[in-house]
């Protein structure tokens, strides 16, 4: 981790409101140029693959970043609308020097972002993002010295269908079990999954019904997808046994949440539990270890321990989960939000489509339902509250907030957890409290959130 603070890159790339800095027409061109400068320093004739989600702004931002890259003599190939992990896969499998994704993941359609992968398919380390950020600011200070080229690359849409097909075929090869017995309701969040999920599920002969798979540029994540898993769960609960499970992706499909056949939501903690046990039983859960984050429920830690599996906690953000996995050699890690990373194969980042296939593969091989696979996961009451803030001052430097957190920790006395942190992608503070009783949980959450709102709220 770098000691310097990045101003543009958060926990998942550069993100903001489309059309406002740093995502204006001028700045996105110059960001592309800065990325190009970074590549040509070390790579002769570098090649980049670019992809995007379904937001209205993704097309023009992708075109502007591609123009900036090509102005540095970087070859740019577009996969069009594709999932974020799809770009990561293409970057490493086709030996590109970098992959760029235009997406704001689960954020509303008015937002957008720029994510960067290295040629090996991994997200850039913080130190490299900081170096690129310094390059960006240097170029932004002298935009006139970086004129736009007269010749422009091809538009990024529709992109090369063959690139998307390569990704779908790789995903399908990850399945060796007959999944044709499974009946699945799939929510594509009107996002990138709508471009790949139907073709993938057909290739795997899964009986799938798709909803929220008609993106119009403005309906991505709108009351659907992984932010609203209860939507699919409710449809399944009222379907009279029509489905075995439900799957919900987020806007760029790097994560997935599930519903069991009764309409109960299963989050990333449940997926980590069933996947860890499966890998452990097959002798391929390296070091008998799973990497989760500070947000994962204590119930997961207890259930894993009862199965002889150790759980480590990383900072929130799938890149930090992956860093801990690489450090410890763990083959499985993930977040409660549905980012699951499988390192027993070739994946280098969380992939919602791959996660869905792995869950269905475990169900089909075991002959057990999703509910049965996690039946002993006893979840501590947990509440997460978001507070919009005007600035992100360290909490230990805000006396009233510090006192509220310390008082709650003393009251818990080890029988629960408190995590208070800032979002890496939005101007939000997040308060998470786990306690043995809902009454205590709610009182502590309200107390800490109230202190933050009074001191730092908008």
Instruction: Convert the pLDDT of each residue in 416-426 to its tens digit.
Output: 899 999 998 78
Rounded CA-CA distance 321/89 in Å is: 18
Chain-centroid distance, C-alpha 252:
8
- Whether the pLDDT of residue 1 is over 60: the answer is no
Three-class secondary structure assignment of 137-188: HHHHCCHHHCCCCCCCCCCCCCCCHHHHHHHHHHHHHCCCCCCCCCEEEEEC
| pLDDT of the residue at 114 | 97
| Residues contacting residue 272 through CB under 8 Å, at least 6 positions apart | 290, 292, 296, 300, 304, 332, 333, 334, 340
| pLDDT of the residue at 21 | 93
- pLDDT, average across residues 171-176: 94
Are the C-beta atoms of residues 196 and 81 closer than 8 Å to each other? Answer: no
| pLDDT of the residue at 5 | 61
pLDDT tens-digit profile of 272-285? 999 999 999 999 99
- 262 Ramachandran zone, left/alpha/beta (phi>0; psi -120 to 50): alpha
From the list 78, 105, 118, 296, the catalytic residue is: 105
- Whether the pLDDT of residue 65 is over 60: the answer is yes
Are the C-beta atoms of residues 266 and 370 closer than 8 Å to each other? Answer: yes
Tokens of 322: 């992956």
Rounded CA-CA distance 82/99 in Å is: 12
| Residues contacting residue 268 through CB under 8 Å, at least 6 positions apart | 255, 257, 296, 334, 335, 336, 337, 338, 339, 340
The number of CA neighbours under 13 Å toward the Cβ of 111 is 20
Domains plus CATH for the chain?
9-163 (3.40.120.10), 174-373 (3.40.120.10), 382-456 (3.30.310.50)
CA distances from 197 to 89, 191, 356, 363 (A): 16, 10, 10, 19
Rounded CA-CA distance 127/332 in Å is: 25
Are the C-beta atoms of residues 51 and 82 closer than 8 Å to each other? Answer: yes
| pLDDT of the residue at 153 | 87
| pLDDT of the residue at 414 | 82
- 165 Ramachandran zone, left/alpha/beta (phi>0; psi -120 to 50): alpha
Are the C-beta atoms of residues 316 and 310 closer than 8 Å to each other? Answer: no
Which pTM was predicted? 0.88
Are the C-beta atoms of residues 62 and 28 closer than 8 Å to each other? Answer: no
Rounded CA-CA distance 361/180 in Å is: 11
Higher pLDDT, 32 or 12: 32
Are the C-beta atoms of residues 249 and 259 closer than 8 Å to each other? Answer: no
- Whether the pLDDT of residue 141 is over 90: the answer is no
Active-site residue 296, yes or no?
A: no
Q: 């002298």: which residue's tokens?
A: 142
| Residues contacting residue 254 through CB under 8 Å, at least 6 positions apart | 83, 84, 85, 105, 318, 339, 349, 350, 351, 352
CB atoms inside a 10 Å sphere around CB 56: 15
């Amino acid at each position: 981790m770098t000691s310097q603070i990045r101003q543009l890159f958060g926990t998942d790339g550069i993100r903001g409101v489309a059309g406002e800095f740093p995502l204006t027409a001028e700045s996105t061109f110059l960001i592309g140029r800065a990325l190009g400068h970074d590549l040509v320093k070390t790579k002769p004739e570098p090649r980049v693959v670019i992809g995007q989600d379904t937001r209205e702004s993704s097309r023009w931002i992708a075109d502007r970043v591609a123009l900036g890259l090509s102005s540095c003599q970087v070859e740019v190939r577009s996969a069009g609308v594709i999932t974020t992990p799809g770009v990561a896969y293409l970057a490493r499998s086709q030996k590109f020097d970098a992959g760029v994704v235009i997406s704001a993941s689960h954020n509303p359609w008015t937002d957008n972002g720029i994510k960067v992968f290295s040629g090996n398919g991994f997200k850039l380390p913080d130190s490299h993002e900081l170096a690129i950020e310094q390059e960006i600011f240097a170029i932004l200070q002298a935009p006139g010295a970086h004129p736009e080229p007269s010749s422009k690359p091809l538009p990024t849409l529709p992109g090369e269908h063959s690139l998307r097909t390569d990704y779908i075929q790789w995903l399908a090869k990850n399945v060796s079990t007959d999944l044709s017995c499974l009946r699945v309701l799939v929510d594509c969040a009107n996002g990138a999954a709508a471009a790949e999920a139907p073709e993938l599920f057909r290739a795997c002969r899964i009986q799938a019904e798709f909803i929220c798979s008609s993106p119009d540029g403005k309906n991505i994540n709108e009351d659907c997808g992984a932010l609203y898993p209860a939507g699919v769960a409710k449809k399944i609960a009222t379907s009279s046994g029509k489905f075995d499970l439900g799957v919900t992706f987020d806007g760029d499909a790097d994560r997935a949440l599930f519903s069991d056949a009764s309409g109960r939501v299963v989050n990333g903690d449940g997926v980590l539990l069933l996947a860890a046990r499966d890998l452990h039983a097959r002798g391929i859960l390296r070091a008998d270890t799973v990497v989760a984050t500070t947000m994962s429920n204590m119930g997961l830690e207890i259930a894993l321990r009862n199965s002889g599996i150790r759980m480590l906690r990383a900072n929130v953000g799938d890149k930090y989960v992956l860093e801990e996995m690489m450090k410890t050699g763990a083959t499985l890690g993930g977040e409660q939000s549905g980012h699951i990373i499988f390192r027993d194969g070739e994946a280098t980042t969380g992939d919602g489509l791959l996660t869905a296939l792995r869950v269905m593969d475990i169900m089909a091989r075991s002959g057990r339902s999703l509910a049965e696979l996690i039946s002993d996961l006893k979840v501590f009451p947990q509440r997460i509250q978001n507070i919009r803030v005007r600035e992100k001052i360290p909490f230990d430097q805000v006396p009233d907030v510090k006192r509220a957190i310390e008082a709650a920790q003393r009251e818990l006395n080890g029988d629960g957890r408190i995590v208070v942190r800032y979002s890496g992608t939005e101007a939000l503070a997040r308060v998470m409290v786990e306690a043995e009783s809902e009454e205590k949980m709610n009182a502590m959450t309200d107390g800490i959130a109230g202190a933050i709102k009074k001191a730092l709220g908008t």
